[in-house]
Amino acid sequence: MKNNKIIKSKEETYYIKNRGIPKGCKYCLKGAKTVLFLNGLCQNPSHCCWYCPLSEERKNKKFTYANEILIGNKKELFEEINITHAKGMSITGGDPLFEPNLDKTLSYIKYIKKKKGTRFHIHLYTNGLNFNANIAQKLREAGLDEIRFNPPEDRWFAIKSALEKGFKVGAEVPVIPTQNYIEYLERFILYLDQIGADFINLNEFEMSITNSDNLKKRGFTLKKGTIASVEGSREFALELLKRIANKVSLKIHFCTIHAKDYWQLAKRYNRRARSIKKPYELITEEGLLLFGQIEDHGYNLRQAYKIIGKMIKTNSKRIIFENNLIKLPVKYIIKDELRNLLREYDLQAYIVEKTPFTDERYAQITEKTPLNIYIEEQGLKSD
């Protein structure tokens, strides 16, 4: 266990060379995991409730989400898995193993495993407070592949009981940047290695709207230039990783907030966008949908639509007229002849970027840039 080099991935996560990262993490970083947020119910344990980043809309609420989508049944979960071409699912909360949630958790695992097959990877997160051999057996029979624990110290033994059932077992915890916590975390990692756990996933400590007051009272601050990263968390994590790498043999993976908020989301958006993209839309690197839009509220727009159809010979589905809007590919709207038409008819034109959803509750316009400004910003030539 000598000279274990720390590798930084392109997604801005860190791990020990030649050990790799957990299978669930591999799928997450490809956007290939559907996140099943079972609900916001848990025991609110003292070791983690003070920094829980869940929003007010989810915390202690019974609503269930698949990724960003509010769902009401297993069929809707299955549809979300398919539309994002997911290869696995993670189950979170709240706590999926909290007694009021357990039957629902088992039911969802069984259903998805039956529909998607045994190769479809499912992992879940738990604080381990009520984990026992009986629950472990039920999870095993349901088809669960991997468990990630964040237990208080007096429940570390629950991880060992999970290992005895043949799961891939590890821990997932935040890196709280205090010396006492890092010392605790080092003891925890040594314990995990001793009992034969597969991995520990370390997360950059996150400040959210709901936990910011608690964190600030304890002296934590937001890292400059970020919207959620707690100052010092990354530095403490990397120092710990370097110090302990040669002492243990388990996988250690540090996941940054940037990796979660950009890479995981963008890759998942990209998968969704490929399923729902309309002929006039492009998919951006962030997985958003991009298209040109022409607006007016009078006769001129309908007349212009007819002229554009004759001017640009293409599939009729690539230039559409609906709700007093013309939508068309960016490569067409930047053409000189079309821009001359826009000026002639005094029409407004934009480049629109939106999130990849068909349901208007989730389809948000992220940018709407006037055409001339877009062309200038991008340094584009019209032809």
Task: Give average pLDDT by consecutive 10-residue segment, the chain, 383 residues.
Answer: 82 95 95 97 96 95 96 97 97 97 98 97 97 95 97 96 92 98 98 98 97 97 95 98 96 95 92 96 97 84 88 84 92 92 91 95 95 88 55
User: Is residue 308 in a domain?
Assistant: yes
- Domain boundary (256, 272, 288) is at 272
- Domain boundary (222, 237, 272) is at 272
pLDDT at residue 378, as a whole number: 84
Q: Identify residue 103 by its one-letter amino acid code.
A: D
pLDDT at residue 315, as a whole number: 74
pLDDT at residue 297, as a whole number: 65
Q: Same structural domain for residues 112 and 261?
A: yes
Q: Same structural domain for residues 215 and 293?
A: no
Q: Same structural domain for residues 197 and 125?
A: yes
pLDDT at residue 48, as a whole number: 96
Q: Same structural domain for residues 154 and 236?
A: yes
Q: Which domain holds residue 370?
A: 277-378
| Distance separating alpha carbons of residues 140 and 74, to the nearest angstrom | 20
Residue 242: which region, alpha, beta or left (left: phi > 0; alpha: psi -120 to 50)?
alpha
Q: Same structural domain for residues 255 and 282?
A: no
- Bridge partner list, 9: none
Q: Same structural domain for residues 357 and 236?
A: no
User: Is residue 23 in a domain?
Assistant: yes
Q: How far is CA 303 from CA 181, 293, 319, in A?
A: 68, 15, 14
- Bridge partner list, 287: none
DSSP assignment of 345-362:
TT-EEEEEEE-S-SSTTT
Q: Same structural domain for residues 68 and 184?
A: yes
pLDDT at residue 280, as a whole number: 96
User: Is residue 212 in a domain?
Assistant: yes
Q: Same structural domain for residues 164 and 22?
A: yes
In this structure, the strands spanning 325-328 and 320-322 are antiparallel
- Domain boundary (272, 304, 337) is at 272
Q: Same structural domain for residues 244 and 341?
A: no
Class of residue 98 by CB neighbours under 10 A (exposed 0-12, middle 13-18, buried 19+): buried
User: Is residue 383 in a domain?
Assistant: no
User: Is residue 172 in a domain?
Assistant: yes
Q: Same structural domain for residues 251 and 317?
A: no
Q: Same structural domain for residues 188 and 322?
A: no
Strands in 121-126's sheet, in edge-to-edge order, are 6-8, 13-16, 251-255, 199-204, 168-175, 146-149, 121-126, 88-92, 33-37, 64-66, 69-71
Predicted model pTM: 0.92
Q: Is 152 helix (H, G, I), strand (E, B) or coil?
A: coil
**Into how many domains does the chain fold?**
2
CATH of the domain at 178: 3.20.20.70
pLDDT at residue 162, as a whole number: 94
User: Is residue 1 in a domain?
Assistant: no
- Bridge partner list, 6: 16
Q: Same structural domain for residues 358 and 247?
A: no
User: Is residue 204 in a domain?
Assistant: yes
